Amino acid sequence: MLAVTRSSLPRVPWRVCRAAYATAPSLNPVIEQDIHHFSKILPSTSVVSTLSPVASPASDLDQFNNDWMGKYKGQATTVVKPKSTHEVSQIVRHCWERRIGVVPQGGNTGLVGGSIPLKDELVLSLANMNKVRSFDPISGVLVADAGCILQSLTDYIAPHNHIMPLDLGAKGSCQIGGNVSTNAGGLRLLRYGSLHGTVLGLEVVLPDGTILDQLTTLRKDNTGYDLKQLFIGSEGTLGVITGVSILTPPAPQASNNVILALPKFDNVLPLYKLVKQQLSEILSAFEFIDRTAYELAVKHGQGRALSDEDVRGAACFVLVETSGGRREHDEEKLNHLLETLLEAEKPLINTGVLSQSPAQFSSLWALREGVTEAISKEGKAYKYDISVPLSSFQDVVDGTREHLRSKGLLNDSAVKHVIGYGHVGDGNLHLNVVAESYSPEIQAALEPYVYEVVASHRGSVSAEHGIGSMKTHALHYSKDEVSIALMKKIKEIFDPRGIMNPGKVLP
């Protein structure tokens, strides 16, 4: 059991944690001599720096120093954009020798501050490493540079009738290396499992510049410790991933989706049970959005609103997707499910909206996928990406809302909405608190409150987004002392100088 008491918690907002790191003496800032060195390794267009002799305007670094939510802000003076593994290795080796902190950055869509320097570390952007190295349409094994954007890989393999085993709202910007580094979950995990299963091999530049070549395409390889697993989800703290070998599944021959409107959250669990039973092997997603999340998605132009009749009396919605090998067979199963649901004596759902065309299929998905973006347009979001038992999803959301109300913070000038949505099929709830602005009062009201609730359910404080800099102080809610001590030892083995993504993941 995790022993958690209120007094055992560091009551420090993330900004204070960052300041604490800033005083750490062991790392050096990038200086002009380093720029000279990087300029020997890379063409001038691949070094962006406010330092001489490059002297770019500070605004050129904004996109690298600010995260997607506008929550985390770094002070990097320099960004390098290598094109090859060899260049990454030379840069990292130099940083190792000079003890300069290195922050690997992919698409910078992470939601926990992992890709933003805490201070003035070097940002190593993978954006220029964007080539597919090979694709075998028989085995479905794709080998690509880490900087390839997820959507471009999806497009690359589509003509070969394959799909990526993961899909997420940020697919147009996030990179496969970032996905692996965060062990991203997303919308297909229910069907294809986690990246710990689908990633077959990795190429990684270690903190001293050594290239670890584990870029195997083998599905079976029981030759000792499976080192690549350590880098999946390590958020750039153990090395820079430069190449990824990943197993891609054949594209389903038929996909359907339906949005079900439910009168109360209590119906979600029995619905999930029934849907699993009836759809079995063709079920590929079971996603949940509460009423507020739905309304924000519609308000901010994500997908087409359902009719008034379809949303009347709905407390929440579930999006069910099927993917299978034969359209008639899948449609028959789905129609049978809908009949069962609508004709039941005590119906679990009010209505169901079934997509009838590819455009409607995308529009229904947009209502779910677009929630993250809609929230960012609505205000400043405190995002808690947690794993808790399915049965407690609604209690966690309602409890948080009541907690904020009791603190006098639930009003238009503080917290506007408390929202729940997420990957119900994976037990992953996105609890989002949308505020007018980030404020210490809201932060203090939410933490440690939310983490204590998670710990009381023996849940996880990070289901899929990672720890980054946001949750280092909360790691102990989900990992015991022995586990954290071992993680620190592993970090020490790979990176005894602590240059890789300092201040992230480990407290």
Ligand X SMILES: Cc1cc2nc3c(=O)[nH]c(=O)nc-3n(C[C@H](O)[C@H](O)[C@H](O)COP(=O)(O)OP(=O)(O)OC[C@H]3O[C@@H](n4cnc5c(N)ncnc54)[C@H](O)[C@@H]3O)c2cc1C
**For residue 115, what is the enclosing H or E element?**
none
Report the alpha-carbon distance of residue 194 to residue 367 in Å, rounded. Answer: 24
Rounded least distance, CB 149 to ligand X, Å: 8
Longest dimension (CA), the chain: 76
Rounded least distance, CB 177 to ligand X, Å: 3
Interface with ligand X (CB under 6 A), residue from 95, 126, 435, 454: 126
Report the alpha-carbon distance of residue 103 to residue 121 in Å, rounded. Answer: 7
- Which residues from 291-350 bind ligand X, rule CB under 6 A? none
Q: Is 141:274 a contact under the CB 8 Å cutoff? A: no
- Number of residues this chain uses to bind ligand X (CB under 6 A): 38
Query: In Å, how far from its chain's centre is CA 200?
Result: 20
Q: Which stretch binds ligand X (CB under 6 A): 33-41, 177-185, 357-365, 444-452?
A: 177-185
Residue with smaller CB distance to ligand X, 114 or 420:
114
Report the alpha-carbon distance of residue 34 to residue 388 in Å, rounded. Answer: 47
Q: Which stretch binds ligand X (CB under 6 A): 33-41, 75-83, 171-179, 475-483?
A: 171-179
Q: Is 469 in the site for ligand X (CB under 6 A)?
A: no
Residue with smaller CB distance to ligand X, 283 or 297:
297
Question: Of all residues in this chain, which one has the CB nearest to ligand X in the complex?
Answer: 178
Q: Is 236 in the site for ligand X (CB under 6 A)?
A: yes
Rounded least distance, CB 450 to ligand X, Å: 18
Report the alpha-carbon distance of residue 500 to residue 344 in Å, rounded. Answer: 57
Q: Which stretch binds ligand X (CB under 6 A): 233-241, 272-280, 311-319, 409-417?
A: 233-241
Alpha helices in 199-242 (DSSP H): 228-231
- Report the candidate in 379, 441, 459, 455 with the shortest Cα–Cα distance to residue 404: 441
Interface with ligand X (CB under 6 A), residue from 186, 324, 498, 502: 186
In the block, tokens 């840069």 appear at 91
Binding to ligand X by CB under 6 A, coded x per residue (else -) over 352-371, reads --------------------
Q: Which two tokens stand for residue 86?
A: 């060899």
In angstroms, how far is the first alpha carbon of the chain from the final one?
A: 20
Rounded least distance, CB 505 to ligand X, Å: 8
Interface with ligand X (CB under 6 A), residue from 169, 303, 498, 503: 169
Q: Is 240 in the site for ligand X (CB under 6 A)?
A: yes
Q: Is 147:179 a contact under the CB 8 Å cutoff? A: no
Binding to ligand X by CB under 6 A, coded x per residue (else -) over 70-109, reads ---------------------------------xxxxxxx
- Report the candidate in 469, 477, 472 with the shortest Cα–Cα distance to residue 488: 472
Q: Which residues pair with 121 in a beta bridge?
A: none
* Bond from prior residue into 250 cis (ω within 30 degrees of 0): no
3-state DSSP assignment of residue 208: coil
Interface with ligand X (CB under 6 A), residue from 82, 185, 243, 448: 185
Site residues (CB under 6 A) for ligand X? 68, 103-111, 114-115, 126, 146, 168-170, 174-175, 177-179, 181-182, 184-186, 235-236, 240-241, 372-373, 464-465, 468, 501, 504
